[in-house]
């Protein structure tokens, strides 16, 4: 089992849990480690990384440079390749491991990549596992808060049984489960009384039914018919089973969908396994975990979010996406790709005024540039269909790209950003 802790000082940046940091310490010279410490011990440097706002100290900068220049981390293959390697190893195993199904679903073909799928894959990429666990909400606390808000809203209701509804809410709030509900109890497993949760669920369902009787009537000028009241009722409906009300429900949901937690669990299960491919499978899992830890370490040191984007695309060898935002709400996106057939490709995008886009494309491959020229009308139409106005789409020779950029070189507009590895 994975040991879950919601302690705010998460073990993302500790040498015994973060494989990337362990690699940095292992590979660094005595002189480099001394430059890091600057009369401080390593523990205090690491602890400083947990602060909400980066102080951009010299130690952090030095460690960031070591991370970026470490040969082991620099030479990590792209995540899609590593997932494919692991899948190929699993195929030769007669006993299918549960992780195989997860990996197949995670490595989506780029043709099937839509907005919702992309969001889901990024959320469950493993990069945000610890922060999601730290911020996990106890569903019992959510129920308690929802009921209190609903009570305050319906106090002004004039429907015939409003007093009865309010009394029902009071009675539910007075149950010991809700009186003691807090996020602190998530840190440790609870032995929760199933019968108590079942009764609580029944009371919630009765309350919902009592309110819904009025919603079938013609709308009146009464709080019970308000949009806010209906939204609160929808929230209550999502907490309608004992399982959904267990304090650990949200944590179980997080670790069952998150790639890093699934990799950790599989790695633990393989430790005492007699699987003939144990060594090879473990090697690929360690490599995937190292990649995730590397992105997490980059995020903490650069005060941004470094993530990877896993998808299947035969043309792609590797690539990076850097997204930044300035104080004027302009978004800058640099996409660096290495394509098997067309070589290096750079895309520079600037989004401003909510939906205005400048799009510059840089390539030295003449065949690719001709393809782009032929398809610019389709690209323009596709952008317009998504409510984005392409103000400028231009094609440049990559070797001359320094003099042609949609960014203003005399400004330093970047306020925050993140990097994606594809």
The CATH number of the domain where 349 resides is what? 3.30.750
- Shared domain check, 406 and 298: no
Model confidence at 398, pLDDT cuts 50, 70, 90, reads confident
- Shared domain check, 297 and 324: no
* Model pTM score: 0.67
Instruction: Please check the confidence at residue 413 and state whether its pLDDT lies above 70.
Output: no
- Shared domain check, 113 and 174: no
Q: What residues form DSSP beta bridges with 404?
A: none
Instruction: Please check the confidence at residue 90 and state whether its pLDDT lies above 50.
Output: yes
Residue 341 lies in a domain: yes
Model confidence at 373, pLDDT cuts 50, 70, 90, reads very high
Residue 272 lies in a domain: no
Instruction: Please check the confidence at residue 381 and state whether its pLDDT lies above 50.
Output: yes
- Shared domain check, 117 and 8: yes
Residue 76 lies in a domain: yes
Instruction: Please check the confidence at residue 52 and state whether its pLDDT lies above 50.
Output: no
* C-alpha angle 96-99-103 in degrees, rounded to nearest 5: 115
Q: Which of 223, 246, 269 is the last residue of a domain?
A: 246
- Shared domain check, 236 and 151: yes
**Residue ranges making up the domain that contains 185:** 139-246
Write down the pLDDT at residue 34.
58
Write down the pLDDT at residue 304.
65
- Shared domain check, 297 and 322: no
Helix, strand or coil, per DSSP, at residue 44: helix
Residue 131 lies in a domain: no
Q: How many domains does the chain have?
A: 3
Question: What does the alpha-carbon distance between residue 63 and residue 70 come to, in Å, rounded to a whole number?
Answer: 10
Q: Cβ distance 305 to 326 under 8 Å? A: no
- Shared domain check, 189 and 299: no
Instruction: Please check the confidence at residue 154 and state whether its pLDDT lies above 90.
Output: yes
Percent of the chain with pLDDT over 70: 77
Q: Which of 221, 246, 271 is the last residue of a domain?
A: 246
Model confidence at 8, pLDDT cuts 50, 70, 90, reads very low
- Shared domain check, 241 and 151: yes
Write down the pLDDT at residue 5.
35
Instruction: Please check the confidence at residue 48 and state whether its pLDDT lies above 50.
Output: no
Residue 262 lies in a domain: no
- Shared domain check, 189 and 105: no
Tell which wins on pLDDT, 99 or 80: 99
CA nearest 417: which of 358, 356, 331? 331
Element (H, E) at 270: helix 259-271
Reading the block at residue 102, the tokens are 């997860």
- Shared domain check, 154 and 119: no
- Shared domain check, 224 and 173: yes
Write down the pLDDT at residue 406.
61
Helix, strand or coil, per DSSP, at residue 344: strand
| Ranges of H-type helices in 135-226 | 139-154, 162-173, 176-179, 194-215
Q: Which of 202, 226, 246 is the last residue of a domain?
A: 246
Helix, strand or coil, per DSSP, at residue 307: strand
- Shared domain check, 112 and 153: no
Residue 397 lies in a domain: yes
Residue 132 lies in a domain: no
**Of 114-128, 177-191, 400-414, minimum mean pLDDT range:** 400-414
Residue 208 lies in a domain: yes
Beta-carbon contacts of residue 72 (< 8 Å; ≥ 6 apart): 23, 27
């Amino acid at each position: 089992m994975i040991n879950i802790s919601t302690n705010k000082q998460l073990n993302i940046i500790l040498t015994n849990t973060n494989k990337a940091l362990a690699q940095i310490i292992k590979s660094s010279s005595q002189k480099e480690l001394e430059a890091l410490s600057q009369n401080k011990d390593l523990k205090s440097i690491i602890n400083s990384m947990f602060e909400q706002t980066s102080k951009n100290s010299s130690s952090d900068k030095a460690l960031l440079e070591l991370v970026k220049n470490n040969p082991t981390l620099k030479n990590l293959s792209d995540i899609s390749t590593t997932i494919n390697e692991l899948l190929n190893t699993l195929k030769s195993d007669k006993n299918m491991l549960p992780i195989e199904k997860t990996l197949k679903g995670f490595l989506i073909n780029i043709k099937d990549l839509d907005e919702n799928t992309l969001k889901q894959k990024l959320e469950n990429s493993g990069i945000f596992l610890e922060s999601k666990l730290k911020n996990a909400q106890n569903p019992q606390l959510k129920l308690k808060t929802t009921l209190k808000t609903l009570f305050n809203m319906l106090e002004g209701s004039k429907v015939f049984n409003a007093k009865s509804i309010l009394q029902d809410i009071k009675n539910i709030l007075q149950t010991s489960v809700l009186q003691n509900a807090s996020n602190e109890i998530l840190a440790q497993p609870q032995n929760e009384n199933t019968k108590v949760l079942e009764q609580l669920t029944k009371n919630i369902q009765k309350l919902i039914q009592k309110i819904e009787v009025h919603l079938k009537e013609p709308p009146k000028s009464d709080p019970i018919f308000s949009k806010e009241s209906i939204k609160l009722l929808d929230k209550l409906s999502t907490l309608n089973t004992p399982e959904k009300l267990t304090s650990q429900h949200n944590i179980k949901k997080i670790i069952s969908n998150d790639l890093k937690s699934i990799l950790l669990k599989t790695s633990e299960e393989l430790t005492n396994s007699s699987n003939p491919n144990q060594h090879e499978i473990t090697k690929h899992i360690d490599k995937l975990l190292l990649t995730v830890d590397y992105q997490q370490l980059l995020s903490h040191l650069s005060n941004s979010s470094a993530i990877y984007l896993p998808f299947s695309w035969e043309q792609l060898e590797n690539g990076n996406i850097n997204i930044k935002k300035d104080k004027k709400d302009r978004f800058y996106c640099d996409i660096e790709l290495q394509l098997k057939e067309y070589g290096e490709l750079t895309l520079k995008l600037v989004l401003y005024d909510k939906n205005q886009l400048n799009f510059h494309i840089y390539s030295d491959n003449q065949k690719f540039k001709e393809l782009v020229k032929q398809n610019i009308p389709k690209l323009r139409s596709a952008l317009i269909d998504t409510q984005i106005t392409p103000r400028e789409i231009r094609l440049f020779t990559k070797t001359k790209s320094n003099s042609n950029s949609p960014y203003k070189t005399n400004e330093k507009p970047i306020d925050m950003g993140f990097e994606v590895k594809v």
